Structure 1
Amino acid sequence: MTIGGPSDSSPSKNRRRDAARIKAKQLRVSQKKKDRRNKVFLQGGIGIAGIAIVVLVAVIIVNSIKPAGPGPRNMASDGVLIGEGMITALTPALQPDAAARPSEPDPTGAVANIRVYLDYLCPFCADFEAANTEQIAEWVDSGAATIEIHPVSILKSKSAGTKYSLRAANAAACVANYSPDDFFDFNSALFVDQPEENKPGRSNDELKAVVKDSGVRTALSSINTCIDDGTFESWVQAATDRSLDGPIANSSIKAITGTPTVLVNGKPYTGSLDDPKEFASFVQQALGETYSTSTPTPTPTPAG
């Protein structure tokens, strides 16, 4: 006798089918639970990733915005004032959001007050500098004139993303802060082999080389750190905004509209930028006009 013949097959098949259905149901339930867990994890992961991205962007933005800090020493007027003997006038640093303190013009009218607003990427500024720096230095050294130099950053978007105009003005502020009597020579050196617009301009290391090559020997380490850290970039931008918004103190103009803006005893020079004789004539004329209006009229002697 064969055990498990045809007469026993039907109940066995039914039990197997029932078991299979139960197993399938269990698998479906298990898969649904797994799917729900994965969905929660996925949503949570996306949320965490989203938060991480937001935090990362916030950190980048915060790090890219330099907090407002005190401005450089010796630039309380937003410019460096240099007088007889090529000596820079010393002033305290401006605090954040403080108004600039205009320099006092010569009250006698006997000294020409020359003021220049310049951008280190501006080719017209380089033209004026090349034509006039030597004679201006002679006038200032002898006491016949003062020169007040205002670095601004109007062209910071014109250097292939490196913000050379801003970085160069910051470097000038660093020199003014740490080695003020070297400012004039460094300012002039920045226009030698001036970078072209829409090209990267000098790197920070190259700016530091210009500092050294221009003859700066005081506080070189501090100046280099100041350049690398962009210490005064926020101040440069604020000073630029002040010059563009106005008012321009001790002047017949409301605000600057471009660079170079050259003022002599408050009057704008509109002549040739590369003709030193024409500029010298303008200085002489402005000096004469100021002197004549500044000289008191003698009081008549009462008749005896």
Structure 2
Amino acid sequence: MSDKIPEGNRSARERLAQQREREKGREKRRRTLIVSSAVVGVLALAAVVGLIAANAGKDDEGARASGPAIAPSGASGEDALTLPVGASDAPSTLTIWEDFRCPVCAQFETAFQDTVEELVDQGRIKVEYHLATIIDGNLGGTGSLRAANAAACAQDVGKFAPYHEVLFRNQPPEPDDAFAENSRLIELAGQVEGLDTPGFRSCVEDGEHDSWVKKSDAAFREGGFQGTPTVLLNGESVFPSKGDEQISPENLKKWVAEANKGKEPGTATPSAPGGGPAAPVATSSAAAP
């Protein structure tokens, strides 16, 4: 009995195999589209929730700044309320307003962290982080404030970016005010090499940057922003969309490329904040509306 496959049967089998591969490819693309659409849909819907949270917390007394605002080392911008990451001469600026208790902020970080880091590493953007505490105002508690103060303490020693990542990666459920416990924030600092020091612990436990955080939250409310996260590329809102295009890692890269056309990447290395005490910012106190 011959083991040779007749030519007609071989061609039929090859066509069937090719058809199956094409079907697999279509199914893979379909699943990718569904997942991408779901991520964008969740972020867009959550942006509306952020708007509600921002409006609901407007009268919260915990968001009112009082006393001298002690800015963390390396903070910049008006009233030293900006925490910068990346080359200072990068051609584009991504501005992000966040609340460490905000679930949408955590979703945004999960979806876009790698893309933002890539753009920063390439010198194509610098990121200006700003902190808000709208969830404290909406749900009660102090977790937004305590976590923001701890992040500012990390900034004092040049560890803001990795601690920022750890906080969002370990974010508790929105109603759970676990970040209100300084012990939890110090425990999480152990995941960032060199951060859990006596100086950091003292900064967290003493609430050294509390008034600065409250001043930042007041600036958020006075800025007319609709919720967290608020994401601006060179001052233009790109979350949850830019014009008719929904935000996605691919679109963010495209928008940055368009903004940077004809411009050289940034190369300036930002100076690392020192570990010494921060100086009070010489500005008057502000209050949220």
Which residue in 1 is equivalent to 2:76? 76
User: Which of the residues 161, 183, 191 maps onto 2:160?
Assistant: 183
User: Which of the residues 256, 259, 272 maps onto 2:228?
Assistant: 259
Verify: 1:278 aligned to 2:243, yes or no.
no
1:244 maps to amino acid: R
Shift of 1:134: 1.3
SS in 1 for 2:73: coil
Shift of 1:168: 0.5
Which residue in 2 is equivalent to 1:224? 201
Shift of 1:162: 3.4
Shift of 1:70: 2.5
- Of structures 1 and 2, the one scoring higher in RCO (CA 8 A, sep 6+) is 2
1:155-174 matches, within 5 Å, as: 155-158=135-138, 161-174=140-153
Instruction: Give the Cα–Cα distance (whole angstroms) in 1 for the partners of residues 83 and 170 of structure 2.
Output: 23
1:277 maps to amino acid: E
Which residue in 2 is equivalent to 1:136? 116
CA contact (8 A) 2:124 2:260 kept: no
2:187 maps to amino acid: A
User: Which of the residues 215, 222, 234 maps onto 1:238?
Assistant: 215
Instruction: Give the Cα–Cα distance (whole angstroms) in 1 for the partners of residues 239 and 144 of structure 2.
Output: 24
Per-residue CA deviations over 1:57-113 (Å, capped at 9, x if unaligned) read: xxxxxxxx97434222211321211224xxxx7xxxxxxxxxxxxxxxx5xxx7221
CA RMSD after TM alignment: 2.6
1:120 maps to amino acid: F
Per-residue CA deviations over 1:214-260 (Å, capped at 9, x if unaligned) read: 33x157211111111111111101111112213xxxxxxxx322111
1:100-139 matches, within 5 Å, as: 106=89, 111-139=91-119
SS in 1 for 2:136: coil
SS in 1 for 2:200: helix
| TM-score, with structure 2 as normaliser | 0.60
Q: Which runs of 5+ in 1 are unaligned?
A: 1-64, 90-105, 247-254, 292-304
Q: Which runs of 5+ in 2 are unaligned?
A: 1-64, 264-289
Instruction: Give the Cα–Cα distance (whole angstroms) in 2 for the partners of residues 243 and 267 of structure 1.
Output: 16
Instruction: Give the Cα–Cα distance (whole angstroms) in 2 for the partners of residues 117 and 258 of structure 1.
Output: 9
Instruction: Give the Cα–Cα distance (whole angstroms) in 2 for the partners of residues 220 and 151 of structure 1.
Output: 23
Instruction: Give the Cα–Cα distance (whole angstroms) in 2 for the partners of residues 263 and 230 of structure 1.
Output: 29
Instruction: Give the Cα–Cα distance (whole angstroms) in 1 for the partners of residues 105 and 92 of structure 2.
Output: 20
Shift of 1:163: 0.7
Instruction: Give the Cα–Cα distance (whole angstroms) in 1 for the partners of residues 170 and 85 of structure 2.
Output: 24
Cα 1:211/1:158, change in 2 over 3 Å: farther
Shift of 1:158: 4.8
Instruction: Give the Cα–Cα distance (whole angstroms) in 2 for the partners of residues 277 and 233 of structure 1.
Output: 37
State the percentage of identical aligned residues: 30
Shift of 1:118: 0.5
Count of matched residue pairs: 192
Cα 1:154/1:265, change in 2 over 3 Å: same
SS in 2 for 1:70: coil
Shift of 1:145: 1.5
Which residue in 2 is equivalent to 1:152? 132
1:222 maps to amino acid: G
Cα 1:158/1:209, change in 2 over 3 Å: farther
Instruction: Give the Cα–Cα distance (whole angstroms) in 2 for the partners of residues 228 and 132 of structure 1.
Output: 31
Cα 1:245/1:275, change in 2 over 3 Å: same
Instruction: Give the Cα–Cα distance (whole angstroms) in 1 for the partners of residues 258 and 173 of structure 2.
Output: 34
Instruction: Give the Cα–Cα distance (whole angstroms) in 2 for the partners of residues 114 and 66 of structure 1.
Output: 29
| TM-score, with structure 1 as normaliser | 0.57
- 4+ aligned runs moved over 4 Å, structure 1: none
Cα 1:66/1:271, change in 2 over 3 Å: closer
